[in-house]
């Protein structure tokens, strides 16, 4: 089993970092710093809580004047690259929110994001003064460094994972859109992925807005087209009619019962009963109606049983391509019912379904039983 992400902050990391600070700022008490980091409930803390613990210990060990503390961090930040150094921008969030420090802090976030990421820390500043920070993000969207340009999009995502949400932009994402518009042809895939993820966030609250934006953006160039497709993934999963048409998926015609898009669909599961942690193979087959070619998105769905007995549907992609009229695509997929950090399994009847262009076409049942004791 892979080590948890929080393990990046092991004893060796803390000692090495303390030594690095000490080498550039002699008054630094590395022993006291390491002790403050690891005291109390350190072992039980997850990644972000550990980051904040390091931040607090660093604040106690560096000069109490914020500008002087930043100056110490500026001496060593070029040697501190990657995810473990999230506590550099976190230090700015914790100690640099005062209005008199604002300009210093924004400059520090811009600097630190180039080697780690300021996407989490910047959100406190957005919540404190959204108008000022929207203007800052617009400026960052034109920065020569791709990490800073990415911050312009990633930092202002309404639903950034692991981060506090931005309710104001969930309600009204219109201030975010000019930032994304500036970045929609960005040369960096790293930046374009962030723009697409930002669009996908917005689509969860404002599907028609994103559908309209996608229609206006698509066809401008390959980079923007990729963003539009990736940014509309949730709307495609939900079979938003406008987005499905935009990407060429053939519609299910409600008034054509005599000639449905899918004339046959089957799914079977083997075995029909598996323990939690086990796996089952599902086999599917669908037949497209005769006539014109059609673009089909074929998925399988599982209604996962939740702790209270209710179910929650999750769909997984099987195929996404164009088929000739009358074609009968089929295939198999093995699904493992092992617990994940994002999903815990519970015993009960799990409904397995096949979906074509957002509509259920066939289903079967699988009994998930309690895990077999070792």
Q: What is the pTM for the complete model shown?
A: 0.87
* Rounded Cα distance, 8 and 31, in Å: 20
Q: Render pLDDT for 261-287 as a digit per residue (tens, 0 to 9).
A: 999 999 999 999 999 999 999 999 999
Domains of the chain (ranges, CATH numbers):
262-369 (2.60.40.10)
Is-contact 337 303, C-beta < 8 A? no
Tell me what pLDDT residue 11 has: 79
Compute CA distances 56 → 22, 93, 295, whole Å: 17, 11, 55
* Rounded Cα distance, 101 and 92, in Å: 10
Compute CA distances 192 → 60, 76, 152, 188, 221, whole Å: 39, 30, 11, 6, 13
* Rounded Cα distance, 344 and 273, in Å: 18
Q: Render pLDDT for 351-367 as a digit per residue (tens, 0 to 9).
A: 999 999 999 999 999 99
Q: Render pLDDT for 288-339 as a digit per residue (tens, 0 to 9).
A: 999 999 999 999 999 999 999 999 999 999 999 999 999 999 999 999 999 9
Number of H helices, E strands in the chain: 16, 8
Tell me what pLDDT residue 18 has: 96
* Rounded Cα distance, 51 and 152, in Å: 22
* Rounded Cα distance, 357 and 299, in Å: 8
Residue 255 CB neighbours (<10 A) = 5
Which tokens go with 151?
A: 């911050």
Question: Is residue 1 predicted with pLDDT exceeding 50?
Answer: no
Question: Is residue 257 predicted with pLDDT exceeding 80?
Answer: no
Q: What is the mean pLDDT of residues 5-28?
A: 92
* Rounded Cα distance, 109 and 117, in Å: 8
Contacts of 172 (CB under 8 A, 6+ apart): none
* Rounded Cα distance, 304 and 359, in Å: 18
Q: Render pLDDT for 122-165 as a digit per residue (tens, 0 to 9).
A: 999 999 999 999 999 999 999 999 999 999 999 999 999 989 99
Which tokens go with 193?
A: 């992925």
CA 43 to chain CA mean position, Å: 26
Taken in order 7, 11, 17, 18, is the CA torsion positive or negative?
positive
Q: Render pLDDT for 190-238 as a digit per residue (tens, 0 to 9).
A: 999 999 999 999 999 999 999 999 999 999 899 999 999 999 999 999 9
Q: What is the mean pLDDT of residues 51-76?
A: 97
């Amino acid at each position: 089993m892979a080590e948890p992400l929080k393990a990046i902050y092991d004893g060796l990391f803390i000692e090495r970092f303390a030594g690095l600070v000490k080498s550039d700022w002699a008054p630094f008490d590395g022993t006291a710093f390491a002790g403050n980091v690891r005291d109390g409930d350190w072992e039980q803390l997850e990644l972000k809580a550990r980051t904040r613990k390091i931040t607090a210990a660093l604040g106690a060990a560096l000069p109490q004047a914020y500008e002087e503390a930043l100056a110490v961090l500026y001496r060593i930040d070029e040697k501190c690259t990657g995810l473990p150094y999230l506590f550099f921008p976190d230090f700015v969030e914790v100690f640099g929110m005062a209005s008199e420090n604002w300009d210093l802090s924004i400059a520090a976030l811009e600097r630190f994001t180039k080697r780690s990421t300021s996407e989490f820390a910047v959100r406190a500043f957005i919540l404190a003064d959204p108008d000022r920070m929207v203007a800052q993000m617009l400026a960052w969207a034109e920065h020569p460094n791709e990490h800073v340009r990415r911050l312009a999009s990633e930092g202002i995502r309404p639903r950034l994972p692991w981060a506090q949400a931005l309710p104001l932009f969930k309600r009204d994402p219109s201030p975010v859109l000019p930032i994304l518009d500036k970045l929609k042809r960005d040369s960096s895939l790293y930046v374009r992925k962030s723009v697409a993820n930002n669009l996908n966030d917005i689509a969860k609250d404002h599907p028609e807005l994103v559908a309209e934006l996608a229609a206006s953006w698509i066809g401008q160039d390959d980079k923007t087209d990729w963003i539009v497709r990736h940014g509309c993934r949730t709307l495609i999963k939900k079979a938003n009619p406008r987005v499905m048409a935009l990407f060429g998926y053939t519609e299910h015609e409600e008034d054509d019962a005599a000639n449905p898009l899918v004339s046959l669909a089957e799914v079977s599961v083997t075995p029909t009963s598996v323990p939690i942690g086990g796996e089952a193979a599902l086999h599917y087959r669908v037949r497209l109606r005769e006539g014109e070619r059609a673009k089909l998105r074929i998925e399988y769905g599982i209604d996962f049983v939740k702790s209270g007995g209710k179910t929650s549907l999750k769909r997984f992609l099987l195929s996404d391509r164009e088929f000739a009229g009358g074609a009968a695509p089929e295939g198999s997929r093995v699904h493992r019912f092992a617990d994940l950090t994002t999903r815990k399994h519970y015993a009960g009847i799990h409904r397995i379904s096949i979906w074509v262009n957002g509509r259920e076409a066939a289903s079967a049942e699988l009994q998930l039983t309690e895990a077999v004791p070792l």
